[in-house]
Amino acid sequence: MDTMIKRFLKRRLLDHDLWFQRKTGLLMEHWRSELRIDVTFVLAHLLQRRDPLSFVQIGAYDGSANDPLNSFIRRGQLRGVLVEPQPDVFARLCETYRDVPGLAFENCALGDATGTAKLYRVKAEHEHRVPRSRQMSGFSPDVILKHYRSIVPDPQAVIETIEVPTLDFPGLLKRHRLEALDFLQIDAEGHDYAILRAFDFASHRPHVVNFEVAHLSRADRISAYELLLRHDYLIHETGLDCVAYLRATRESAPGFWS
C-alpha cells in the first residue's frame, strides 16, 4: 500500500511539474552553499577546451543588467553577435561594450522572416513599479500584464508598442558569416521556444544553448526540451532558465566534468 501511495503522489506531482527527492538534512539547512549548475558553470567547462567561443545572444538588453555573459564578453572569451530590438536600450548595449573587440550588434528582433513587427514594452513612467520591467518587452503583452495586473487598475495603460525590424535566423547568421556557433543565448520573454524551433540544428550545432523558460507555457517548455533531446543535448533547468550541453562536447571536454 505504501508503494502504491508513493507512486500516486509522484504521478500527481509530475502532473504539476513538481518533484521530490531525498536530501541530507544538513544540506537542506545550508541550502545557500549547495553547488548549482548554470550557464556560467557550463561555459567555464567548455572554455577549457575552446577559447574564445563564438556566440549569438538574442535579447541582450543593455549588456549589464542581470546578464551572466557580461564578464565572459569583457574578458574576450565570447565573440559574436548581440541582438536587441529596443532602440534606446540598444544604444546602451553598444556603449556597454564600446571598447570590447570581436563583437557585432543588431538592432532587431528575431522573427519568422525579415521585415517589421510590433513590440510591447512598459512605458518609461511606469517602469519603477516593477523591477526590471523594461526587460519584459516582447511580441506579446502577456508577461507585462501578468506582472502589473495586481499593481495598477488598468494594466493595459502601462504598455506602449513600437515597430521594430526583424531578421530570421538564416539571415542573421548569413549577415555575420557565422558558419559555426559555439553558444546560443536566448531571452525573449515567452518567445524563446519559437526562436529555438526556428534554429537549424541540422546545419549549426551549438555546444551550449541557454534560454529562458520562466514565461513559456508548459506545452512549449516540453516541446523545447524534446527538441534538444532529439539533437542529443543534456539539459538542466536552472530556475528561470534551461541550459543545454551537447552530449558529445561535454564528454570530450577536460576538467571537472570529464
**pLDDT surpasses 90 at 257:** no
Over residues 8-35, mean pLDDT: 68
Contact 63, 96 (CB under 8 A): yes
List all residues 6 or more positions away from 101 whose beta carbon is below 8 Å from its beta carbon: 76, 79
Which band of pLDDT confidence, cut at 50, 70 and 90, is reported for residue 205?
very high
**pLDDT surpasses 70 at 64:** yes
Which band of pLDDT confidence, cut at 50, 70 and 90, is reported for residue 136?
confident
Q: Which helix H or strand E contains 173, and what residues bound it? A: helix 169-175
**Domains in the chain, CATH or no CATH each:** 32-112+168-252 (3.40.50.150)
Over residues 59-84, mean pLDDT: 94
Q: What phi and psi values does residue 153 have, to the nearest 5 degrees?
A: -65, -40
d(CA 34, CA 28): 9
> What is the separation, in whole angstroms, between the first and last Cα of the chain?
42
- The C-alpha cell of 176 is what? 555575420
- The C-alpha cell of 27 is what? 544540506
**pLDDT surpasses 60 at 144:** yes
Q: What is the pLDDT of residue 56?
A: 97
Provide the 8-state DSSP code for 138. Answer: B
Query: Which of 195, 243, 237, 245 shows the shortest CA–CA distance to 218?
Result: 237
Burial of 223 (0-12, 13-18, 19+ CB in 10 A): middle
d(CA 183, CA 209): 6
- For 86-106, the pLDDT digits (tens) are 999 999 999 999 999 999 999
Over residues 75-79, mean pLDDT: 96
Query: Which of 110, 102, 85, 101 shows the shortest CA–CA distance to 197?
Result: 110
Q: What is the pLDDT of residue 50?
A: 86
**pLDDT surpasses 70 at 16:** no
Q: Which helix H or strand E contains 186, and what residues bound it? A: strand 183-186
Contact 242, 213 (CB under 8 A): yes
Q: How high does pLDDT run on average in the chain?
A: 87
**pLDDT surpasses 60 at 256:** no
**pLDDT surpasses 90 at 76:** yes
- The C-alpha cell of 123 is what? 512605458
